[in-house]
Chains A and B, each alone.
Chain A
Amino acid sequence: MEKKPELKPEEAAMELVACFPAKVARKRSKQIVINEVGPEEQVPEVMANVRTIPGIITMRGCSYAGCKGVVLGPTRDILQITHGPIGCGFYSWATRRNQTRPATGEDTNFMPYALSTDMQEEQIIFGGEKKLKKAIEEAIALFNPKAIGIFSTCPVGLIGDDVHSVAREMEAKYPGINIFGFSCEGYKGVSQSAGHHVANNKVFTDVVGLIDEPKEGKYKVNLLGEYNIGGDAFEIERIFEKAGLTLHSSFSGNSVYEEFASAHTADLNVVMCHRSINYLAEMMEKKYGIPWFKVNFIGAEASAKSLRKIAEYYGDKELMDKVEEVIAEEMKEVARVRDDVASRCAGKTAMMFVGGSRAHHYQDIFKEIGMKTIAAGYEFAHRDDYEGRKVIPSIKVDADSRNIEELKVTADPEKYRDRLTEADRKRLGDEFKFKNYEGMMPDMDPKTLVIDDLNHHEMEVLIEKFHPDIFCAGVKEKYVVQKYGIPMKQLHSYDYGGPYAGFQGAINFYRDIDKMINTKVWSLVKAPWDDSPELTATYACDQAV
């Protein structure tokens, strides 16, 4: 594909919606903005977390995918039963690349299993609760789990099956097994985001706080919003251990039930994917007094910054020194690979449209090898993920958000414990930014495009107009982009590479991007005869006659 002349973002924004019917164009225009960062980090308002327009080829999925697939899926010892027809359970079976590492070969690991009630017409007509109960009994007999999650799919809500009462009934019948249901029917909300919220609520009310024994360790940190795609959590765990931090639990990559249940005993919550788990961070702070702040372990600089921030939180000299030592040591190899890769990648451009945090996090790591992000957006974010949490009070709650329960949380009379003394608060000051996320836009260059819920048509226009050197999105987009002769990195599955988190992860990422951008393959796309399809030359053998 030929490089196109520089295109003004204003023109691009108009071209993106040019062929849409007027009503559609009006709506989409509010979801497409040209970034500008003001003095107080003010950025333009972007419309987000609104319904996808029917007929538009969207990147989004559903609430069930967000709840079962994203948040609960990576937990290896909660037995997960999908209540619904077979499809939903089938598609969420082992396709998300969450890795898990049981301590021994005998330890519980349900992750390679997909359980479903495979509802048939009969249950749609007469109700499916009976079959669900029977399925739970059969599952207990086979797997003997300590906890069971039941996930509702579209028809379950419609026919009125009450998964929560089934859960209560079965729990009474099988004391000792924690059984809970999720109302994560696919039509709830406008995207996966609703499912994250539903998952957060239930894990909070039914699991967190049940076990009061903390893990051994001096500095106990919960890592929220890290799903161990391609082994990311393993790498973060390695760094934590090296620095002397205890990873108490990670929500929910490489996780087990007990870690959730005792998560309230930790000293600190750090949040990776803000969108998928900010609810849990908020609620744990209110109920148990655990402070939280945002971190990012994608990119070596970001990882170093996050580690320093955690050490600063504890304010312990020994820890701070150790962290510096780890960073210095890890950075040596990072810098070597980074500089080498940057010599081939610097100045190249990227676009990324994924999830609800990755489109932000990955801009940092691209920057490290000198690459510039010219357009980015989220699949299912809310305004705060773009503009920062300060806009939360001004976000209008619409009908689609209203049907996701907001829990009223108060301090637990026994278990609440303020982690910070007055002196700590003073030491850390306002600068420290607890419970804050500044959003993606303040970190993006002025005049770059920010597009919420990008759709297929707009993606085509972006590619044709800007011809980025790399495009990042999900599997549904991958082969479209590649047909244009542009490398496409999947940031959900990492194209089966990774880990990309932490220092080793950064090295993996630099190398993978280098390989993709600088592969010779793209030069094969054009055949030798493509340039001169007409036959004009005479053959040497003809002349010889």
Chain B
Amino acid sequence: MLLRHTPKEIKERSALTVNPAKTCQPVGAMYAALGVHKCLPHSHGSQGCCAYHRSALTRHYKEPVMAGTSSFTEGASVFGGQANLLEAINNIFTIYNPDVIAVHTTCLSETIGDDLTQITNKAKEEGKVPDGKYVIKANTPSYVGSHVTGFANMVKGIVDAFPVNTGHKTNTINIIPGYVEPSDMSEIKRIASEMGIKTIVFPDTSNVLNGPQTGKYDMYPSGGTKIPDLIKAGDSKATIALGPIASGPAAKALDTKCKVPCEILKLPIGIKATDEFVDRLRILGGVSVSEEIKTERGQAVDVITDMQQYFAGKKAALIGDPDQMVSLAGFLTDIGMKVRHVVTGTSGKKFEKRIREAAGEDVNVKEGGDYFYFHQLIKNEKVDLILGNSYSKYISRDEDIPLIRFGFPIYDRVGHQYNPCVGYRGAMRLLENILNALLDRQDRDALEEKFELVM
């Protein structure tokens, strides 16, 4: 037993987190910033945070993840980090020549109260920001929220910096894809373009964090939302924000700033959530759903109808980020599974209500929970399947329950970078993974006389 010290009996804890199901804001901010073309994220604090965040993203994506740091030592912590950030901005533009530096704070610079607006203005006044280049920013104190909040804050930082309302509305629709994988962002783009809709998708980490091997290293890969597009986002006729927690704040800020009305939808994971997304796209874009998309939908539903006996009544436990958990719980319920336990590390009052709406009243839900508690729930009521990040593998092994890796971080498998979970194709991939896991288990446990060739 790897987690031999985890007892079945659940005791109330108010101060101690054991095996967290979330991490801190800056890593989300760094990820979001990488979705802007030729942008170098910058961590304003001591270099350890930046090293940790780069390592976490690198391990998850198996791709280079570049970011600068203000490299605070004790002096900066006492006297403030202004000098460090000014020097950093100058060095970064001189040495790495990005188009944008996206600065986020850490708990350190937040605690000492460094004012990013004032410092970045000063950098401009002192001529440290070359013409045509940008420094954007987000406050990401790690003692508030989680990596999801940090992602949301940096996407809002992008909105604060770029979009301009010129008064000439275009036919374009902005899509904020949420805290999802590069593969998901590109799938969202594909669905919209398949339907003939002009979109600006931001952030967009596809072709940044799932780049090809070409024999050449390029510090700024071809992907990422281009700055002219980000500026034009202010003239778009509408914004669709996927996932209220990760994308909501930016969408609302864009509405306030440039009068681009927004609709906040669920992350399009599963049939119904994707239906909702596609349908809103259709209506906003004034188009009809393309044959291709209809076929994809039909195929995904076909798999469910063909194989529903294997899903029916199977119990699942999920752990991960709130926007993802809500859609995933809904999808699993739709295919006939029983969602028994849902835990998110991120705090949020509406979470419990949304999960119950998706999966029924009788489900154990916790916001602001951790892996230790999640494991205890499973010890108290066994499930057939766990969906969670790589840290779930300890529980999966101890309790002998199949695991489908989902969410962040996934350190020990590949595929998530390249294959989507969103849209009908993503639903198909999830179905395949779930079925394989359940059928493999059935095969493994089958008596010899019950071992079936055709399933």
Question: A interface vs B, CB < 8 Å?
Answer: 1, 19-21, 24, 51-65, 81, 84-95, 105-106, 108-110, 112-121, 123-124, 131-132, 134-135, 137-139, 141-143, 153-155, 157-159, 186-191, 399-400, 403, 456-457, 460, 474-476, 478-485, 525-526
Residue among A65, A117, A457, A481 making CB contact with B16, cutoff 8 Å: A117
Apart from A55-B90, A109-B4, A116-B17, list 7 A-B contacts with CB within 8 A.
A86-B20, A113-B19, A119-B143, A135-B16, A154-B49, A189-B73, A481-B217
Task: Give the size range of B's interface with the partner.
Answer: 35 or more
**A110 with B91, Cβ < 8 A, contacts A57-B68, A525-B215 known:** no
Cβ-defined contact, B91 with A21, below 8 A: yes
Residue among A53, A86, A159, A479 making CB contact with B17, cutoff 8 Å: A86
B451 at the interface (CB under 8 A from A): no
Cβ-defined contact, A55 with B87, below 8 A: yes
Looking across the interface, which residue of chain B has its beta carbon closest to that of A106?
B4
Cβ-defined contact, B69 with A58, below 8 A: yes
Cα distance, A115 to B69, chains bound together (Å): 26
Looking across the interface, which residue of chain B has its beta carbon closest to that of A118?
B17
Q: List chain A residues, Cβ under 8 A from B62.
A: 479
Cβ-defined contact, B91 with A95, below 8 A: no
Looking across the interface, which residue of chain A has its beta carbon closest to that of B91?
A55
Cα distance, A228 to B3, chains bound together (Å): 20
Cβ-defined contact, B16 with A134, below 8 A: yes
Cβ-defined contact, A158 with B77, below 8 A: yes
Cα distance, A424 to B3, chains bound together (Å): 49
B405 at the interface (CB under 8 A from A): no
Q: List chain A residues, Cβ under 8 A from B224.
A: none
Residue among A56, A58, A85, A485 making CB contact with B142, cutoff 8 Å: A85
Cβ-defined contact, A52 with B47, below 8 A: yes
Within 8 A of A (CB), among B367-390: 372
Cβ-defined contact, A142 with B7, below 8 A: yes
Q: List chain A residues, Cβ under 8 A from B213.
A: 482-483, 485, 525
Residue among A60, A138, A153, A479 making CB contact with B64, cutoff 8 Å: A479
B419 at the interface (CB under 8 A from A): no
Cβ-defined contact, A53 with B5, below 8 A: no
Task: Pick out which of these stretches binds chain A: B105-113, B308-316, B332-340, B432-440.
Answer: B105-113
Q: List chain B residues, Cβ under 8 A from A118.
A: 17, 20
Cβ-defined contact, B58 with A475, below 8 A: yes
Within 8 A of A (CB), among B151-173: none
Residue among A55, A92, A525 making CB contact with B42, cutoff 8 Å: A55
Return 16 A-B CB contacts under 8 Å, by A number.
Answer: A19-B95, A51-B71, A62-B49, A85-B107, A85-B141, A88-B48, A105-B4, A113-B18, A113-B19, A113-B372, A115-B17, A119-B107, A154-B111, A158-B111, A189-B73, A479-B62
Q: List chain A residues, Cβ under 8 A from B14.
A: 134, 138
Cα distance, A124 to B108, chains bound together (Å): 11
Q: How far is the CB of A65 from chain B (nearest CB, A)?
A: 5
Q: How far is the CB of B287 from chain A (nearest CB, A)?
A: 37
**A117 with B17, Cβ < 8 A, contacts A86-B142, A143-B5, A460-B217 known:** yes
Residue among B5, B87, B94 making CB contact with A54, cutoff 8 Å: B87
User: Which 4 A-B pairs have CB atoms at the shortest separation, nearest pair first?
Assistant: A62-B48, A87-B24, A55-B88, A55-B91
Within 8 A of A (CB), among B80-106: 84-85, 87-92, 94-96, 106
Q: List chain B residues, Cβ under 8 A from A114.
A: 18-20
**A112 with B52, Cβ < 8 A, contacts A187-B76, A479-B64, A526-B215 known:** no
Looking across the interface, which residue of chain B has its beta carbon closest to that of A379?
B51
Cβ-defined contact, B65 with A87, below 8 A: no
**A159 with B76, Cβ < 8 A, contacts A87-B142, A154-B46 known:** no
Cα distance, A87 to B50, chains bound together (Å): 11
Q: How far is the CB of B376 from chain A (nearest CB, A)?
A: 11
